Structure formats: structure tokens, C-alpha cells
Amino acid sequence: MLALGAERDGRQTRPVTGPPVDATAAERTWRLRRAALMDRMALDDPRPGPVAAAAETAERLVLHDRRHPDLVAGPHHPDTITLAPSRRLYVRQEYAAWTAAERTGI
């Protein structure tokens, strides 16, 4: 995650032999992984602080995906999942789709 943050901020570049990195996609990956981490932390510690942090990072991912709908990986767009009080279900959907794509090399 630190390497993704450094790459996103321009402090570190990806090796020349790797695939080209789109800055918007790199930012989304960073936001998605951060939101997933915060969600897991809130599941382990359901006190108000961790839950609020998870909701905040999930909302930031949703805002990013609204601006870049072509990067949404799961079957439901951010505004489709409205039953939950936070956007954490959306984060779970997107993280599952992202990891599935990573495993298959898509």
C-alpha cells in the first residue's frame, strides 16, 4: 500500500518493464485498497472511530468512481447500493471484483 501511495504521489515510479500506469487508475487502486483496509479494521473493532473512518474512505471511493465510472469493476455502480447506511458494501463489491481481476490477469 505504501508503494501504491508513493507511485500515486509521484515519489516512486513503476519499473520500466512493467505495464504503463494510468494516474487515475493508480489513484483508484490506492483509494480502493485503503477503503478495504479501513473496512476490515472496522469489522475487527466496531467502535465509532474505526466505523466512521471506514465510512469516510468508502465515501471517497464512491466520489472518485462517480467521476470515473469506467473504472467501476463490480456489477453495481456506486449509486445502486443504497440500502446500507454507508458505502462499505460498495467497497466490498469493488475489492472482490478487483482481486478477482488481479488473479485472472485481466
pLDDT reported for residue 48: 97
Assess contact for 46 and 70: CB atoms under 8 A.
Answer: no
> What was the pLDDT predicted at 95?
96
The three three-digit cell numbers of residue 54, written as one number: 471506514
Decide: residue 21, CB within 10 A, 0-12 exposed, 13-18 middle, 19+ buried: middle
Q: Which of 76, 66, 79, 87 is nearest to 24 (CA)?
A: 66
Q: Residue 89: is its pLDDT beyond 70?
A: yes
- Mean pLDDT for the chain? 83
Q: How many CB atoms are closer than 10 A to CB 54?
A: 25
